[in-house]
């Protein structure tokens, strides 16, 4: 009972640890440091009690941290493991990170941490990191110098560009880059001349971003973790917050303690479910029937907010007809297995305890119909009138620490920073911000058409290599090189095919502090052509990160990069120089020499450039100075509202949650809850966005009278602001002459002066993006009204007949994409593979897991990959708890894992955590790792066995519902 999932003898671990200790190299662990310096903890401890301001002043001298004996400083940073954004005080002595202290002042985490957050100091040891650049020579990784690495990789990529065009190289960026690096990478790939770039958001919340933005304007969490303290009911569907976002439970359990009702809907009885008032087990992949099943009871009982729907929602009547006709209790029970009384209870709880909020995560997004599921969630909240209300909202918990930021301003295949898209006007806007000639940028691309065409997604890069050349919708044909720049390979599905794609590549480059999963997979199938470059962690550089609630936090540099690693932006500039456009990349950005004589682009200058260009989503007001001020005055912010009461940030919301409109000088306070009409726009208020025209089928899309934000001069629906509207309203004269010159012919998104925004907001209390209705019907999506469609690999042939998937698509994000043809082909495969295979998170690990499995404090807690299997299925298959079993999927890939026999999953469902890698179908891959860079814990990657299936809007991969069978190994 006291044991963890795997209580293995400690022998293995200890052996690993001591072998790792030999490889420490330049670094020093704390013990070693203490010994050598002859200092105890006392000195550091006293310094850690210095007031933050004092320490801030001390470091303003800007001396390298390593300098000056006895120099103890506290650096304020933010945990890099999830999107909650927990602040960390790092105590640094003589350049060594010696202690980690809780930041009680942080309004987000109040000092609290989960296992990952409480162990981030281990990054200062980094024993299992890649220490120096390496390349694969005859199947073994060999050390090379940085200069060689840049030259060789650069030459290979330039040759490919020469021969096959810029689109033959695929750039996978990272949600673990800070905002500035993520933004610089999008600029970087633009100058390389391709849109073939992506990052983790594709496989995390792309369906959310698309679905939610198309419903009401912005594709982000509407409220905040903190605001959940105001909720009276909370519905979690496809979110295991207790493991994936543990510190959010601080606010959630606080709300529960004060009377909020908690409902958890999941195929698995999660640790979050253990805290719920009502747990509902649904069949994996049936979120639409469930959510519409709730709406059935809401409409039946007249619980919808009629006034709200009338004024602020388009298309609810069509939804109502659909729901009442199609999702009667018997149909709901048939589809998702939940009886009527449970549905009614949940609907009543949400209706009678308003404001009520909904939380969803990957359990909802990672499906072939993820876009429809997330919209069904939005529609539920719109019907209840919960969006734009404190305590309500759609609290969409993002994954990585900066996945929100990388989505907002980073390397996306379908958009320039700030969701500007790829239209000609967008390119002109950004070329102007970058200070480069539009024609020059265009010349970098193979053609204007390709410049404005969305690239291949990270979920499908393998098909960009393996697909028939003629079927790939780009003139250059196949991808020949892939750069993995801060992204795990084992987080993408169809791993068995991925190694084939890796094999077929000309060049594979991995830039990462822990590149080892990709490195080992590649070395398993290749002899050469693989390069590994050690990147610095976020504790070894500065910059901002956007938490899930849209707050930006500034990280100070804790320590200098360990070993030979370099910050990502330094590496970007080095490659840009090699490619011949270094100067263009940093036109507005200062360069500084690092300790090794390399040029490092100034992060603050990059943020200022983001500020100058990103008007659309209000990344324009968060100057480095304002963000730093917030970090120093955390204690002045209220925990429930995130608003500063007095002090230097008086009236502002913590981290200036975007949208923080206008210039920094306009002093917009940030937006704590989106679309909240109860507040003035200059106090973070708002309304739904006018982004879909002003009329549809003869019905106005603008909001009803009286539903504008508080104090707005226009108390009705209105379109977005541009120079014409300003003139029509007679407000043009309120612009300064300089603003007039800049704003002429522009709209609020492209006016480089910010004048249109200033006049609309400050002078007239109006929202620059207009005031419209949210859309319950999204006519530009494949299913305008969300439809249930069975996953491609469904356990229920009868349901496939009733709810078939989409038709195949020939050209979709540059690739042919299968739906119905494949579903038909595998319709009866559940006879051979009868169990649902699903995956999820463990609290101890993050993402692909190489980083966290390299941290001994975490690795000790989860030492083996496992599968949760119901006792019935285990008995049927003839194995017991703790046995090794084979989990085999329809791809024939087999995973050898420990059986965890538990009621946590229902009969017919097998759950596997997705953070493992380093075993391949029963074999330990240790010999394929670069020496000394293998993580402590290795195991089968669930995605080695996952199957085909992609969302029909965003190319999100299906990971949550596929099939498998199990047997004793």
Partner 1 sequence: MGRMKFLCDAERCIECNGCVTACKNEHEVPWGVNRRRVVTMNDGVPGERSISVACMHCSDAPCMAVCPTDCFYKTEDGVVLHDKDQCIGCGYCFFACPFGAPQFPNGPSAFGARGKMDKCTFCAGGPEETGSEAEYEKYGSNRLAEGKLPLCAEMCSTKALLAGDASVVADIFRERVLRRGGGAEAWGWQTAYGGGEQRRERKQDREGQK
Partner 2 sequence: MSMPVSKRIVTAAFAAALVGGLGACGEKSQVAVYEQGTYQGKADTAAWDGPAFKGDRAAWEAALKNRARGQNEYNRTE
In whole angstroms, what is the distance from residue 248 CA to residue 700 CA?
39
Strands 866-869 and 894-901: parallel
Among 19, 35, 447, 471, interactor with partner 1 by CB under 8 A: 35
* Residue 714 contact among partner 1, partner 2, none, beta carbon within 5 to 8 Å by kind: none
Binding partner at 122 among partner 2, partner 1, none, C-beta below 5 to 8 Å by kind: partner 1
Q: Binding to partner 2 by residue 638, rule CB under 8 A? A: yes
Which tokens is 424 given? 């000609």
Minimum CB separation of residue 111 from partner 2 in Å reads: 5
List Cα–Cα distances, 815 to 379, 467, 606, 962, in angstroms. 31, 8, 34, 22
Reported in sequence order, the residue ranges of 675-776 that DSSP labels E, i.e. its strands, are 695-696, 699-700, 774-775
With CB under 8 A, what is the number of residues at the site for partner 2?
15
Residue 70 makes contact with partner 2 by CB under 8 A = no
Taking CB under 8 A as the rule, does residue 30 contact partner 1? yes
Using rule CB under 8 A, residue 899 touches partner 1: no
Binding segment for partner 1 (CB under 8 A), chosen from 273-281, 416-424, 542-550, 730-738, is: 273-281
Q: Between 30 and 367, whose beta carbon lies closer to partner 1?
A: 30
Determine if 1 is a binding residue for partner 1 (CB under 8 A). Answer: yes
Q: What residues pair up with 357 in beta bridges, in sequence order?
A: 234
Whose Cβ is closer to partner 2: residue 218's or residue 225's?
Answer: 225
Least distance from C-beta 7 to partner 1, angstroms?
Answer: 6
Under rule CB under 8 A, residue 116 binds partner 1: yes
> Which long-range contacts (C-beta less than 8 Å, at least 24 apart) are formed by 799-805?
799/335, 800/827, 803/335, 805/368, 805/369
Which of residues 211 and 246 has its CB atom nearest to partner 1 in the complex?
246
Taking CB under 8 A as the binding criterion, the range among 114-122, 601-609, 793-801, 813-821 that sits at the site for partner 1 is 114-122
Is the distance from CB of 547 to CB of 85 less than 8 angstroms? yes
Burial class (CB within 10 angstroms; exposed 0-12, middle 13-18, buried 19+) of 102: middle
Q: Does 647 bind partner 2 (CB under 8 A)?
A: no
278: left (phi over 0), alpha (psi -120 to 50) or beta: beta
Is 107 among the residues that bind partner 2 (CB under 8 A)? yes
3-state secondary structure of 285: coil
Residue 144: CA atoms inside 13 Å, Cβ hemisphere, count? 19
Decide: is 104 part of the binding site for partner 2 (CB under 8 A): yes
In this complex, which beta carbon is closest to partner 2, that of residue 456 or of residue 649?
A: 649
Using the rule CB under 8 A, which residue among 9, 38, 42, 698 binds partner 2?
A: 42
Say which residues have a Cβ less than 8 Å from residue 54's Cβ, sequence separation at least 6: none
What dihedral do alpha carbons 690, 695, 696, 700 form, nearest 10°? 90
Q: Is 23 in the site for partner 2 (CB under 8 A)?
A: no
Which pairs with CB-CB distance under 8 Å and at least 24 residues apart come from 324-327?
324/296, 324/299, 324/300, 326/292, 327/289, 327/292, 327/293, 327/295, 327/296
CB of 640 to partner 2, least distance (A): 5
Nearer Cβ to partner 1 (407/839): 839
Shortest spacing between CB 110 and partner 2, in angstroms: 6
* Binding of partner 2 by 274 (CB under 8 A): no
Q: Per rule CB under 8 A, is residue 639 in the interface with partner 2?
A: yes
Site for partner 2 contains 45 (CB under 8 A): yes
Give the pair of three-digit tokens for residue 107.
């309004």
How far is Cα 775 from Cα 314, in angstroms, rounded to an integer? 5
Mutual angle of helices 179-192 and 568-579, in 10-degree steps: 20
Helices (H), 506-616: 516-525, 568-579, 582-585, 603-613
Integer angstrom CA distances of residue 432 from 420, 703, 746, 752? 14, 34, 13, 9
- Binders in 210-229 for partner 2, by CB under 8 A: 229
736 binds, among partner 2, partner 1, none (CB under 5 to 8 A by kind): none
Does 256 engage in binding with partner 1 (CB under 8 A)? Answer: yes
Among 140, 275, 442, 809, binds partner 1 (CB under 8 A): 275
Residues 117-136 that bind partner 1 (CB under 8 A): 117-119, 121-122
Element (H, E) at 88: strand 87-93
With contacts defined by CB under 8 A, name the span among 60-68, 99-107, 147-155, 173-181 that binds partner 2.
Answer: 99-107
Nearer to partner 1, 31 or 593 (CB): 31
Say whether residue 52 binds partner 1 (CB under 8 A).
Answer: no
- From residue 789, alpha-carbon distances to 190, 332, 367, 819 in Å are 37, 13, 10, 11
Among 258, 301, 424, 447, binds partner 1 (CB under 8 A): 258
The stretch near partner 2 (CB under 8 A) out of 102-110, 292-300, 423-431, 470-478 is 102-110
DSSP H helical ranges for 337-488: 340-352, 362-365, 370-383, 403-409, 424-434, 438-444, 448-451, 461-466
DSSP, collapsed to helix, strand or coil, labels residue 519 as helix
Question: Which residues of this chain interact with partner 2, rule CB under 8 A?
Answer: 42, 45-46, 49, 102, 104, 107, 110-111, 229, 250, 254, 638-640
Chain residues binding partner 1 by CB under 8 A are 1-4, 7, 9-10, 13-14, 17, 29-31, 34-35, 38-43, 45-46, 48-49, 99-100, 102, 104, 110-119, 121-122, 242-243, 246-247, 249-250, 253, 256-258, 269, 271, 274-275, 279, 843-844, 856-858, 860-861, 868, 902-904
């Amino acid at each position: 009972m006291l044991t963890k999932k795997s209580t293995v003898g400690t022998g293995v671990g200890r052996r690993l640890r001591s072998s790792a200790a030999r490889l420490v190299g330049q670094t020093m662990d704390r013990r070693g440091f203490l010994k050598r310096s002859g200092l105890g903890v006392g000195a550091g401890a006293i310094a850690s009690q210095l007031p933050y301001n004092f320490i801030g002043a001390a470091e303003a001298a800007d001396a390298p941290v390593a300098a000056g004996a006895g120099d103890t400083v506290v650096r304020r940073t933010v945990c890099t493991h999830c999107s909650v954004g927990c602040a960390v005080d790092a105590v640094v002595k003589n350049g060594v990170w010696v202690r980690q202290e809780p930041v009680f002042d942080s309004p987000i985490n109040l000092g609290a941490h989960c296992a990952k957050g409480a162990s981030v100091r281990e990054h200062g040891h980094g024993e299992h990191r890649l220490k120096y650049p390496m390349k694969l020579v005859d199947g073994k990784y060999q050390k090379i110098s940085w200069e060689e690495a840049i030259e060789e990789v650069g030459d290979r990529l330039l040759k490919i560009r020469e021969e096959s065009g810029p689109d033959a190289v695929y750039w996978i960026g990272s949600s673990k880059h800070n905002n500035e690096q993520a933004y610089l990478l999008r600029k970087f790939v633009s100058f390389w001349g391709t849109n073939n770039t992506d990052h983790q958001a594709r496989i995390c919340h792309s369906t959310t971003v698309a679905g939610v933005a198309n419903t009401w304007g912005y594709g982000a969490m509407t409220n905040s973790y903190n605001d959940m303290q105001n909720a009276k009911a909370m519905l979690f569907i496809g979110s295991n917050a207790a493991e994936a976002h543990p510190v959010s439970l601080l606010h959630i359990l606080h709300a529960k303690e004060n009377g909020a009702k908690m409902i958890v809907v999941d195929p698995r009885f999660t640790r979050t479910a253990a805290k719920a008032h009502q747990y509902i087990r649904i069949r994996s992949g049936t979120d639409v029937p469930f959510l519409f099943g709730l709406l059935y009871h809401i409409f039946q009982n007249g619980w919808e907010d009629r006034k709200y729907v009338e004024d602020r929602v388009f298309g609810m009547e069509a939804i109502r007809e659909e729901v009442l006709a199609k999702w009667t209790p018997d149909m709901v029970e048939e589809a998702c297995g939940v009886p009527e009384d449970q549905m009614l209870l949940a609907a009543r709880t949400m209706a009678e305890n308003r404001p009520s909020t909904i939380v969803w995560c990957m359990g909802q997004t990672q499906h072939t119909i993820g876009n429809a599921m997330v919209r069904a969630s939005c529609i539920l909240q719109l019907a209840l009138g919960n969006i734009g209300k404190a305590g309500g909202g759609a609290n969409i918990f993002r994954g990585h620490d900066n996945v929100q930021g990388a989505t907002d301003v980073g390397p996306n295949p379908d958009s320039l920073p700030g969701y500007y898209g790829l239209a000609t006007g967008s390119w002109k806007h950004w070329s102007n911000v970058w200070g480069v000639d539009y024609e020059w940028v265009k010349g970098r691309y193979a053609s204007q058409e390709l410049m404005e065409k969305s690239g291949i997604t990270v979920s499908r890069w393998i098909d960009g290599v393996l697909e028939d050349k003629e079927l790939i919708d780009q003139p250059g044909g196949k991808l020949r090189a892939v750069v993995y720049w801060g992204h795990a390979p084992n987080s993408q599905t169809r791993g068995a095919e991925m190694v084939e794609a890796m094999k077929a590549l000309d060049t594979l480059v991995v830039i990462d502090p822990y590149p080892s999963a990709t490195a080992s997979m590649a070395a398993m199938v290749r002899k050469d052509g693989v390069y590994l470059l050690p990147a610095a962690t976020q504790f070894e550089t500065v910059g901002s990160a956007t938490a899930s609630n849209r707050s930006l936090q500034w990280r100070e540099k804790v320590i200098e990069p360990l070993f030979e690693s370099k910050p990502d932006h330094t590496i970007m500039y080095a490659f840009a120089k090699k490619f011949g456009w270094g100067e263009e990349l940093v036109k507005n950005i200062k360069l500084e020499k690092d300790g090794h004589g390399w040029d490092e682009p100034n992060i603050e200058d990059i943020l200022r450039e983001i500020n100058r260009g990103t008007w659309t989503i209000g990344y324009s007001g968060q100057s480095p100075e304002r963000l730093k001020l917030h970090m120093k005055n955390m204690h002045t912010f209220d925990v429930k509202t995130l608003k500063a009461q007095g002090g230097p940030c008086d009236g502002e919301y913590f981290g200036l949650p975007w949208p923080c409109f206008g210039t920094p000088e306009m002093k917009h306070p940030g937006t704590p809850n989106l679309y909240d009409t109860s507040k003035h726009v200059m106090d973070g208020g708002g309304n739904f966005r006018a982004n879909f025209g002003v009329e549809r089928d003869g019905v106005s899309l603008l909001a009803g009278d009286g539903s504008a934000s508080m104090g707005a001069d226009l108390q009705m629906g209105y379109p977005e602001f541009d120079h014409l509207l300003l003139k029509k309203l007679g407000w043009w004269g309120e612009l300064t002459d300089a603003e007039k010159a800049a704003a002429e012919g522009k709209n609020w998104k492209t006016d480089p002066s910010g004048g249109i925004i200033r006049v609309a907001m400050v002078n007239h209390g109006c929202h620059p993006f207009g005031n419209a209705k949210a859309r319950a019907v999204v006519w530009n999506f494949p299913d305008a009204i969300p439809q249930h469609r069975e996953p491609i690999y469904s356990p229920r042939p009868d349901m496939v007949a009733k709810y078939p998937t989409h038709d195949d698509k020939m050209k979709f994000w540059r690739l042919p994409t299968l739906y119905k043809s494949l579903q038909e082909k595998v319709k009866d495969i559940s006879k051979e593979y009868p169990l649902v295979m699903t995956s999820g998170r463990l609290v101890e690990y993050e993402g692909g897991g190489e980083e966290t499995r390299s941290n001994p404090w975490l690795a000790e807690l989860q030492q083996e990959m496992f599968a949760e299997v119901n006792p019935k299925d285990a008995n049927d298959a003839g194995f017991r708890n703790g046995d090794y079993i084979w989990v085999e999927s329809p791809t024939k890939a087999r995973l050898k894992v420990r059986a965890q026999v538990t009621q946590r999953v229902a009969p017919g469902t097998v759950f596997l955590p997705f953070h493992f890698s380093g075993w391949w179908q029963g074999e330990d891959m240790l010999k394929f790792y670069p020496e000394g860079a293998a993580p402590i814990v290795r195991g089968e990657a669930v995605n080695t066995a996952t199957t085909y299936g992609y969302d029909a809007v965003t190319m999100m991969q299906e990971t949550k519902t596929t099939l498998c069978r199990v047997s004793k190994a």
